[in-house]
Every structure is written in structure tokens, then in C-alpha cells.
Amino acid sequence: MKNKWFIILKKEFWHLIKTKSFILGTILTPFFLMLIFAIPIYMQKKNAEKVRKYHYVDHSENIAGVLKEHLPSTMEMIPWNSDKEKAIAALRNKEIKNFIYLPEDIFESYNFEYYSETISDSQRISLIESVISRVIQEKKFEERGLSRGEINQLLLSAKARTFEVTRDEGPKKKSADVSFGIAYLLVFLIYMTVLSWAPQMLRSTIEDKSNRVAEVLVSHVKPSHIMGGKLSGTALAGVFQYLIWGLMAFLGITLLKQALPASRSVFDALAGNINPSLFIFFGLYFLMNFLLFALIFGIIGAMFSDMKDAQNAMTPAILICILPLLFFAPVSQDPTSAFSVGISLVPFLSSLMLMRIGISEVPSLQIGLSIGLLLLTIAIEVWLAGRIYRIGLLSYGKKPTWKELFSWIKNG
């Protein structure tokens, strides 16, 4: 005779993967993600190709002439044959769009004025600042009798070759941007999974209660088995979706390598920045974070009889899910600090531990403690869920009060 838990798992799994939302989501999500990355890149490229006119008044020693030589052809420098006040008036009347005022004392003050109908194009403004800074620096060096070759040598920019030093491997050349990007992507996948699949536990439980299926289930199956079956079925459906996406990604990369041989070096460089153990930890934290939050949504589903009542309780749960996003910046900038270590050990913020593993060497003791605290929290949630499920699945009508909820936990 088949295990009753497995029957519920199979029912939940097939119920989820046969829905139109699963099929459409599995097919369309990769394309939407591609568009999310491709559209900004395309728009940035089109924006860079767009020609912009910059009117100017130059009271310096021909800085505008140097700007014309060094700025790209998409930034056209046009002299303004009047004073600054009339240029500002022309801007207000939409006759011109950009105006640069280069004062006579620019070599002493290091300041110039930029007027525009919008100052959001920070990339081009930064480029103008860079060229003008270079002109001022060159003039200062020339005044000290340095040759052009010496000036160019002094103004060379330094580039860091980054090496990650670990206890076992020693120094290993890695790109900081690539390491952070990979870690961020894996953490993002955890969030996307939790926010997409964990609420399915809530919806499924409420659906069973509203259809009175729960009464039949409880009469034949233990509430803990119902919860375990639903949890396992939902998790299996999520893993199944990721397996499909993984296969699509593998085929896409293979086809891209064949179509564009130059892309192989890019993928090889990415592979060189990936530690295989990172994917093992990703699998562990992926599963544990899913269980952690799916149990919360399952408990909420057992407490309420319809989605309207459950919405208010869902909001804090979703906020807890996305809470680690607030700490991405400080943790990524200093992953070994006491703050980063402490906050990454909090079970509901444990995805930050995965980020630390991706960008630095984390002591085994900290990883073990993080996993232990996660498992302990999940065990507590399972205990709470079992007691709330026992009474909550058969509770209909009004929302439970805090007193009633504690009674369920006590007597469940």
C-alpha cells in the first residue's frame, strides 16, 4: 500500500505542474529575464549613439578645443555667441538643451558650470569632467617643465589585478565583479523561488479548507503527513521547474558557443571564478530557505479560511523574505566583519551567508552554525505547524484571535 504522505505529495505536484500558470511561467520567465537584461543594454547602446549638442562659452585657454578633440562624435561642441545669461534664457525657452560655461579661473578653481534641461545623463557629464580634469593636470605639469611623454606617464591609470587568498589554495586570480555577480544571482534565485512557490502552500491549504477537502484528508491522514506531503510536492514542483530552466540555459550556452566562438573565452573566464562547492551550498540553502518560508505560509493557510483574511498575514511574511536585501551592500563590502558574520547567522537572513561564501572564505564553523540554526528553526516550525494544522485545518469562519492561536499550539 502506498504511503499516504507520498499520495498527497504526488497530488500536490501534479496539481501544480499541470496549471497554465506553471506552464506559461516556465516557458516565459527565461524570456522575460533575458528582456530585463537585454532591453537596458540595448537602450544604453542607443542612448550612447544619439548625438547631443553642447553649446559653450569658453573664457579659458581653449579648453573647448581640447574637448572637441577628445569627446566622442556623439557629443557635438557648438560655440555660443552671446553671454551666459542669454544661454540660460535659451534653455528655459527650449531653444538649446545643454550649455557649458568655462570660466577664466578654471585652472585655479577646478570648477566649470553645466546647465541642461536634465542632468540625469551622468555618464556624459562624467566624461566631460574627466577630459577637463586631464587638461588642467597637463597644464599644471607643463608649467613645471615636464615633457609630454613624462606627463602621459604620470597620468596613467592603475588597474588592480585581484587575487582571492584562501587557506587551502592560497592566492587565486579572481574578478571581484564576477564573483559578486555570481553570488548575487544565486541569492536572487533563492528569493525568486521563495516568493514564487512558498505562497503556494498557503493557497493550496486555503483551497482545501474552502472545498472541505481538509475534512476528508484529516479523517484519513495525520495533519503532519498532510503538511509534509504538500510541502514536498510544492518543493518538487519548484525543483522540476528549475531543472527545465537549467536544461534551457545549458542548451542556450552550447548554441551560443557554436554560433559565436568568441563567447567561449567569456564563459571560460566565468567558470574560472566559480568554486564548485558554491553550488553545493546553494543547493543546501535553497532547500532550507524554501522549507523555512513555505512552512510559514502553510501555517498562515491553516489559520485562515479565505485569501482575503490571509492577505494581511502574508504581508509580514513577504517582508521577512525580502529583508536580507537591505543588508546586501554592507555584507558584500565587508563580508568578514562582525556585523556581516552575526547577521548572516540569523536563520531568516541566511541567504546572506550564501553571499559571503560566494565572495570570501567563510570558516567551516560559521557555515555549520548557520546550517544548524536553520535546521533548528525549521524543526520548531514543523512542530508549530503540526499543532496548528491539527485544529486550524478544520477551523472555518472568523479569524482566530491570538488567544485562540496559542490555544491551538498548546492543545494541538
Boundaries of every domain in the chain = 51-154, 175-411
Position 1 scores a pLDDT of: 41
pLDDT in tens, 47-70: 767 788 889 888 887 788 888 888
Of 26-30, 46-50, 172-176, 250-254, the range with the lowest mean pLDDT is: 172-176
pLDDT grade for 371, boundaries at 50, 70 and 90: very high
- Higher-confidence residue of 44 and 167: namely 44
User: In which band, very low, low, confident or very high, does the pLDDT at 164 lie, cut at 50, 70 and 90?
Assistant: low
- The C-alpha atoms of residue 134 and residue 140 are separated, in whole angstroms, by 10
What pLDDT is recorded for position 370?
A: 93
Phi, psi of 113 (to 5 degrees): -115, 135
Give 170's strand partners: 166
Cα-based distances in Å from 178 to 269, 272, 326, 385: 9, 10, 21, 40
Give the model confidence (pLDDT) of 191-208 as tens digits.
877 887 777 777 777 776
Mean pLDDT across 166-176: 56
pLDDT of residue 147: 79
Cβ contacts of 392 within 8 Å, gap of 6 or more = 299, 302, 303, 400, 408
pLDDT at 187: 83
| Of 102, 76, 80, residue with least CA distance to 91 | 80
More confident: 267 or 252:
252
Nearest Cα neighbor of 290 from 243, 240, 346, 238 is: 238
Contact 340, 240 (CB under 8 A): no
> What is the three-class DSSP state of 119?
coil
Per-residue pLDDT, 342? 92
Rounded to a whole number, what is the largest CA-CA distance in the chain?
95
CB 225 within 8 A of CB 4: yes
Q: What angle do CA 352, 353, 355 make, to 5 degrees?
A: 65
In DSSP notation, 179-228 reads HHHHHHHHHHHHHHHHHHHHHHHHHHHHHHHHTTHHHHHHHHS-HHHHHH
Asked if 42 and 260 touch (Cβ cutoff 8 Å), the reply is no
Q: Quick one: pLDDT at residue 395?
A: 60
pLDDT tens-place string over residues 129-149: 888 888 888 888 887 887 777
Residue 216 has pLDDT above 70, yes or no: no
Least confident of 28-32, 90-94, 273-277: 273-277
Mean pLDDT (whole number) for 28-55? 76
pTM over 0.75: no
The CATH T-level fold of domain 51-154 is D-Maltodextrin-Binding Protein; domain 2 (3.40.190)
| 3-state secondary structure at position 145 | coil
Instruction: Provide the pLDDT for residue 401.
Output: 63
